[in-house]
Amino acid sequence: MPEDIRDKLKRLKKEREARSKSQELRDAWSKLEEKEELSTKEKLEQLIQLRKDRKPRQKSKPRFEPQEKESLRFTEIPYSLDARYGKVKISQGLDIQGSTLACLSCDPEFEDKDLSTALFIDLETTGLSGGTGVVPFNVGMGYYRDGKFWVGQYFIGELSEEERMIKELNQFFSDMKFESVVTYNGKAFDIPLLETRFIMHQTPFELASLPHLDFLFPARSLWRHKYESCRLSHLAHEVVQTFRDEDIPSAEIPWRYFQYLQTGNYELIEPILYHNAEDILSLLGVVIIGASIFSEGLEDLTPDSMDFFGAGKVMERLGESEEAVRFFSKALEGELTEEVGLSTRRRLSLQFKRHEKWENAVLLWEEMAAANDPSYDLLFSLRELSMYYEHRKKEFDKALRYAEEGFVVSRGYSTRYEGDFTHRRERIKQKLKRQKQKKAGKQNKSK
Torsion of CA 227, 316, 94, 229, to 10 degrees: -20
Q: How many whole angstroms separate alpha carbon 263 and alpha carbon 62?
A: 9
Whether the pTM exceeds 0.75: the reply is yes
CA angle 219, 326, 114 (to 5 degrees): 50
Domain 305-312+320-446 class?
mainly alpha
Q: Where are the domains of the chain?
A: 5-53, 72-295, 305-312+320-446
Domain 72-295 class?
alpha beta
Q: Give the residue among 326, 151, 304, 113 at the shortest CA–CA distance from 226.
A: 304
pLDDT tens for the chain, residues 1 to 447:
455 676 767 666 666 555 555 556 556 656 655 666 655 545 455 655 665 555 444 444 444 455 566 799 999 999 999 999 999 999 999 999 999 999 999 999 999 999 999 999 999 999 877 667 899 999 999 999 999 999 999 999 999 999 999 999 999 999 999 999 999 999 999 999 999 999 999 999 999 999 999 999 999 999 999 999 999 999 999 999 988 765 788 889 999 999 999 888 989 999 999 999 999 999 999 999 999 999 865 667 889 999 999 999 999 999 999 999 999 999 999 999 999 999 999 999 999 999 999 999 999 999 999 987 888 999 999 999 999 999 999 999 999 999 999 999 999 999 999 999 999 999 999 999 898 888 877 766 665
